Chain A
Amino acid sequence: MAAIIRQRQVVADSWQLLKPAADGTVALPDDGDVIVPLAVWRAQRDALLGRAGGLGVWLDANDDPALIAGDLGHFAVIAVNFPQFTDGRGYSIGRLLRERYGWRGELRAVGDVLRDQLFYLTRCGFDAFALRDGQDANAALAAFDDFSEGYQASVERPQPLFRRRGVAAPEATRS
């Protein structure tokens, strides 16, 4: 069983991320927890709801999260794929799922996920991370504390820093 980071801890993971074959179909196991591609969810909705085992869906970087906005109650986990860690579309998808569509369950970053992106991903609402093969998940935990603050409104802190600051700064002067 693979290890992932969930809620800032390295844990064993039971979920199987299903990737489509060349013809777009996936081989669906009879039981067990699966995370299926968006297209599979849309094509085989009833079959998926009828099977034993947990159900999750994963979005690719060019998928529109609005397409599952009405389905969130059916999923135990939503994953977002990062084809390359430099492809930042998933950050917007994460925020939309959390802030616009109200997803409260596990939001998992999968694909080319590295420790140096964990801090921003967390601020965009991700709370689980399946790192790229070969990455040291335990060492990566330190990245959550790279910064102690952030200026912007974010999923983690919906109020931007300027609405959370205490007293106004003293007047700066010079001669």
Chain B
Amino acid sequence: MYLYDEIDQRLVDERVAQFRDQTRRFLAGELSEDDFRPLRLQNGLYIQRFAPMLRIAIPYGLLASRQLRALAYIARKWDRGYGHFSTRQNIQFNWPKLEDVPAILAKLATVQMHAIQTSGNCIRNTTTDHFAGTAPDEIVDPLVWCEIIRQWSTFHPEFAYLPRKFKIAVSGSEADRAATQVHDIGLQARRDAAGNVGFRVLAGGGLGRTPLIGAVMRDFLPWQDLLTYLDAILRVYNRYGRRDNKYRARIKILVKELTPDVFRAQVEAEWAHLQGGPATLTTAEVDRIERRFTRPHYRQSEPVSSAYAGALARDKAFNNWVRRNVQPHKVAGYAAVTLSLKKTGVPPGDATADQMDAVADLADRFSFGELRVSHEQNLILADVRQADLYELWQAVKALGLATPNIGLLTNIIACPGGDFCSLANAKSIPVAEAIQRRFDDLDYLHDIGELDLNISGCMNSCGHHHIGHIGILGVDKQGAEYYQISIGGAQGNDASLGKVLGPSVSQAEVPDVIEHLIELYLERRDSEEERFIDVVRRIGIEPFKEYVYGSHHKAAPSRRRQLAAA
């Protein structure tokens, strides 16, 4: 955990005072709604369907147990006893009152948290790998770099009023678990032949209406140049990004319209002035940030306990959970454990205040008092002794957070959708639940194997539907809620964007379509090793399209007509 120093704390406290005064002026009629809107958005406050929605930053997904307890406290005192973990490693509360928000921010500040720049046209929370610092394939620990970027982006005076929101993701590993290719800027840590750390820099990736994979700006940017290079990219974007149309205002449109080569040349020309300037990072600063992170004091590597091996052999349910929800750790004798917030019947990513308190206790008992929030909307205890796994599993099971579905079809990523969000065209949560119910059989689910299913309630793509192996997008069809299904998307190193399967379908039909996709996949796969996404890539989307919509389909003719009419 990064520990604030006196200045970090003072800045967050000053932000609370600033927002308290802005809220006071708004409520007193001194600030108009239009003038207040950008100010409240830069403190994470939306006016939503039922009430304001407050989005709180969980910088790069890292949380201390005392912070999670503060979130539980907020959920009880100012909300309705639960919170929603989002795909950007933040947490959202859907029921706070506007006049309570300054008090909520003050409470957050007591545990070194805030809602700074969690919305608005500014640099948002930097996200990273939820296994950062523990993954065996790690090249560098991205947490230190994320904190450096957090400080650089916090209250950046030049980039508070960009054409549109701006999201940076950092990956420190061989395997990209931070979706860096679909961010405004993606940073992939590298080491050169001499072992020096640097970053592969991508720009102009994104989802939304115009999904694009980021273009490479630099194959290897030395770490010292990180902030000056970010300044250069942001300055070119701030000056030349489109402001006439909010749907054309993201940096990806600028990169695309200029072409990546021209955009890169402009960035390099700007950077020529900034390179080597005062913002050039120093070893002293990187060391200082590094030292302010608390680190687990791992015990000497211990042999795998026989009790653990015995439990694995004896208890099939435990074995299933370990296979799906437990990840290897760089330190022998330890593991990273994912607590699934994807239990059937619970909106994906939701956690109650009681669950938060209980998970905070588990973090204290089993994982050095820390946890992670993943962009897949789960919670992770990243430093658990293998010998403790059985005991932890029993505790997690009792909390309803042990669904062994990580990486499987029912680990659905979903935005809050039309139940809460005023932007949504359609609901997400009931669709997720209907699919989870259809694939309730665990053996069947495990047989299907790895499959990412992502749902967004509208084109803003908060549910990352473009990079789901199966993506579901809510669309508005003459006032009715319909769903467009795409397949072939993927996150990670071989990221790709899904292709639309065919005409959109009604909510009731979605589980049928998913089931048919799975049927065809199971029929066509070479072996259990070949995942759904692999089959889509091998045979293309046509056979799936044909199977779902085509004349050879075994579904009743009446249903086909419904689909065709949709």
A81-121 residues with Cβ-Cβ distance < 8 A to B are 85-89, 91-93, 95, 100, 114, 116-117, 119-121
Looking across the interface, which residue of chain B has its beta carbon closest to that of A145?
A: B14
Which residues on A sit within 8 Å (CB–CB) of B160?
88, 91, 120
* B29 contacts chain A at the CB level, 8 A cutoff: no
- Interface size class on chain B is 35 or more
Chain A residues with Cβ below 8 Å from B552 are none
A169 interface contact, C-beta 8 A? yes
Chain A residues with CB below 8 A from B152, complex form: 151-152
Contact (Cβ within 8 A) B3 A172:
yes
CB pair B39 A173 closer than 8 Å: no
| Complex CA distance for A175 and B291, rounded to whole angstroms | 15
Residues in chain B near residue A88, CB distance under 8 A: 121, 158-162, 238
**Measured between alpha carbons, how far is A171 from B5 in the docked complex, in Å?**
11
B369 lies within 8 A of chain A by Cβ: yes
Residues in A neighbouring B288, C-beta threshold 8 A: 162, 165, 168-169
Contact B239 A147 (CB under 8 A): no
Which of A92, A154, A175 counts the most chain B CB atoms within 10 A? A92
Chain A residues whose CB sits within 8 angstroms of the CB of B303 once the complex forms = none
Contact A91 B291 (CB under 8 A): no
In the complex, which residues 156-200 of chain B have their Cβ closer than 8 Å to any Cβ of chain A? 156-162
When distances are taken between beta carbons in the complex, the residues of chain A under 8 Å from B11 are 147-149, 151
Please encode chain A, from 126 to 164, with 1 for each CB lying within 8 Å of some chain B CB and 0 for all others: 000000000000000000001111111110001111110
Complex alpha-carbon distance, A117 and B31, angstroms: 13
How far apart sit A91 and B216, CA to CA, in the bound complex (Å)? 27
- Asked whether B157 lies within 8 Å of A124 as measured between CB atoms, the reply is yes
Q: Is B277 an interface residue (CB 8 A)?
A: yes
Residues of B within 8 A of A100 (CB): 273
Question: Distance in Å from the Cβ of A162 to the closest Cβ of chain B?
Answer: 4
Q: Are A87 and B291 in contact (CB under 8 A)?
A: no
Most A CB within 10 A of own CB, among B1, B15, B291: B291
Residues from chain B with a CB closer than 8 A to the CB of A93 are 239
Contact B291 A114 (CB under 8 A): no
* In the complex, B278 has a CB within 8 A of chain A: yes
* CB–CB A169/B273 < 8 A: no
B279 touches A120 (CB 8 A): no
List the A side residues contacting B369 at CB < 8 Å: 174
Q: Which of the candidate stretches B135-143, B292-300, B413-421, B469-477 sits at the interface with the other chain?
A: B292-300
Q: Check: B285 CB closer than 8 A to any chain A CB.
A: yes
Q: Decide: B157 and A91 in contact? CB cutoff 8 A.
A: yes
Q: Are A175 and B297 in contact (CB under 8 A)?
A: yes
What separation, in Å, do the CA atoms of A100 and B3 have in the docked complex?
Answer: 36
If A86-B161, A87-B243, A89-B238 touch, whether A168 touches B287 (CB-CB below 8 Å) is yes
Give the residue of A89, A114, A146, A171 whose beta carbon is less than 8 angstroms from that of B14: A146
Interface assignment of B46: CB less than 8 Å from any CB of chain A: no
The answer to whether B157 and A116 have CB atoms under 8 Å apart is no
Partner of A92, one of B18, B35, B158, B227: B158
* 6-57 of chain B: CB within 8 A of chain A: 7, 10-11, 14-15, 18, 22, 35, 38-39
The verdict on B368 contacting chain A, using a C-beta distance below 8 Å, is yes
Q: Bound state CA distance, A161 and B7, in angstroms?
A: 10
Minimum CB–CB distance for B117 against chain A, Å: 13
Contacts of A119 in B (CB 8 A): 157
B110 within 8 A of A: no
Contacting residues, chain B, for A86 (C-beta < 8 A) = 38, 121, 161
Residues of B within 8 A of A150 (CB): 155, 157
Contact pattern, B 426-453, Cβ under 8 Å of A = 1, otherwise 0: 0000000000000000000000000000
A151 and B151 contacting across the interface, CB-CB below 8 Å: yes
**With A148-B14, A161-B7 in contact, is A95–B291 under 8 Å at CB?**
no
A160 touches B278 (CB 8 A): yes
- A168 contacts B155, CB within 8 Å? no
Contact, CB under 8 Å: A91 / B292: no
Is the beta-carbon distance between A120 and B285 smaller than 8 angstroms?
Answer: no
Verify A85–B284 contact, CB threshold 8 A: no
Q: Which residue of A lies closest to B287 (CB)?
A: A168
Residue of A with least CB distance to B296: A174
CB–CB B38/A149 < 8 A: no
**Contacting pair B158 A85 (CB below 8 A):** no
Complex Cα–Cα for A91 and B161 (A): 9
Is B282 in contact with chain A by the CB < 8 A criterion? yes
Q: Are A149 and B278 in contact, with the CB atoms below 8 A?
A: no
Is the beta-carbon distance between B10 and A148 smaller than 8 angstroms?
A: yes
Q: Give the distance to chain B from A163, nearest Cβ to Cβ, in Å.
A: 6
Contacts of B14 in A (CB 8 A): 146-148
A121-B11 Cα distance, complex, nearest whole Å: 18
28 examples of A-B residue contacts, CB within 8 angstroms = A85-B35, A85-B38, A88-B159, A88-B238, A91-B160, A92-B238, A95-B158, A119-B157, A146-B18, A147-B18, A148-B11, A151-B156, A152-B155, A159-B278, A162-B151, A162-B281, A162-B285, A165-B288, A168-B287, A168-B291, A169-B288, A169-B292, A172-B291, A172-B293, A172-B294, A173-B294, A174-B294, A175-B297
Going nearest first, the 3 A-B pairs with the smallest beta carbon separation are A88-B161, A123-B157, A120-B157
Chain A residues within 8 Å of B, Cβ to Cβ: 85-89, 91-93, 95, 100, 114, 116-117, 119-121, 123-124, 146-154, 158-163, 165, 168-169, 171-175
Additional 12 contacts, C-beta under 8 A, given A161-B7, A174-B296: A88-B158, A116-B22, A147-B14, A151-B156, A152-B156, A152-B279, A153-B277, A169-B288, A169-B291, A173-B294, A174-B1, A175-B297
